[in-house]
Amino acid sequence: MSPWKELIEYKNLSKLGFHETLTGGQCFGWNTTSDNSWIGSFSTKVVELRFENRTIFWRTSLTYPATSEEILEYLWVEKSYDDAINELPWRSDSVLAECIEALPGLRILKQSIDETLFYFLLSSAKSIPQIQAIGKLVFQKYGKKLFENIYSFPGWDRLAQIPERELRMLKLGYRAKYVAQTARFIASRQNWLESIMELKYADAKKQLLRLPGVGEKVADCTLLFGGNFLEAFPIDTWIEKSMEKRYNLNGWNTAQKLHFASMHFGKFAGLAQQFLFSAERLKVFKD
């Protein structure tokens, strides 16, 4: 590992918000190394981050290094994040205001779409630690070793060569079929997944829904966390409860809730979603 360096001093960031960003279920490749540090990888670059006195420090692997610019981009530490927060309707929405106040600096990471799709194909009826665990088994067996205990995403072309039964042995359960079939779909269409990012949100979502194992929720997670579509608003069980309880949307169906989210939260609805999700999960509200 390289020596520690200062990445940025960042006053609108809390340890909780940062921790939740890295381990709260939008990504699955980070592990805590101490009370205030985390190690993980993105795009085959290995990085350790530390949060201290409102400052982020970083160091990187010597064989798979990242630059500070790449880390800042991955973490969405840019003015556009502050602008996005500013555009959310927290001034007139006390629920959202409370979430943002409780989790300063919570953000959407800029992950790669292929790896993000893979993880969320595994996500149904699994807890966050389990998604992380079974994902890691696949990385370990078919990916490249980047660092002690850190392996790379094997890629869809590689996954397409693996029989479903072999994936089942890695504890994927019925998700093995989703991964195997999706891998074959993607591998047989050159540049199909990457080209989705050039589309408009609605069209990109429509394309992803063609994949086996990808329903509305997984499609939105993939687009929000892996495609930088910040208007995507994944509705999972937590958000479902949040919208019914906090916004009195009992009896509304999914399409109606999505419409509400789009109207009320606007083009950064996905960021709002992350605040609502984490606040609900971490029990920020007294109920």
Partner DNA sequence: TGTCGACCTGTGAA
Partner DNA sequence: ATTCACAGGTCGA
* Binding interface with DNA (CB under 7 A): 24-26, 123-128, 130-131, 168, 171, 173-175, 177-178, 211-219, 221, 234, 236-239, 253, 255, 273-274, 277
Task: Give the C-alpha distances (Å, rounded to integers) separating 8 from 47, 54, 192, 208.
Answer: 15, 9, 36, 36
3-class SS of residue 208? helix
As measured in angstroms, the least distance from the Cβ of 69 to DNA is: 26
Question: In this structure, which amino acid lies at residue 224?
Answer: L
| Closest to DNA by CB, 15 or 177 | 177
As measured in angstroms, the least distance from the Cβ of 132 to DNA is: 10
| Closest to DNA by CB, 51 or 178 | 178
| Closest to DNA by CB, 56 or 221 | 221
Angle, alpha carbons 278-73-215 (nearest 5°) = 50
3-class SS of residue 67? coil
E strands present in the chain: 5-9, 31-34, 37-42, 45-52, 55-60, 145-147, 150-151
Question: In this structure, which amino acid lies at residue 41?
Answer: S
As measured in angstroms, the least distance from the Cβ of 216 to DNA is: 5
As measured in angstroms, the least distance from the Cβ of 55 to DNA is: 26
Taking a C-beta distance cutoff of 8 angstroms, is the pair 223, 201 a contact?
yes
| Closest to DNA by CB, 7 or 99 | 99
| Closest to DNA by CB, 31 or 124 | 124
Measured in degrees and rounded to the nearest 5, phi and psi for residue 25 equal 105, 10
As measured in angstroms, the least distance from the Cβ of 218 to DNA is: 3
| Closest to DNA by CB, 147 or 234 | 234
How far is the C-alpha of 108 from the C-alpha of 80, rounded, in Å?
12
Nearest Cα neighbor of 19 from 101, 123, 84, 104 is 104
As measured in angstroms, the least distance from the Cβ of 210 to DNA is: 9
As measured in angstroms, the least distance from the Cβ of 83 to DNA is: 22
Nearest Cα neighbor of 22 from 124, 13, 85 is 13
| Closest to DNA by CB, 23 or 60 | 23
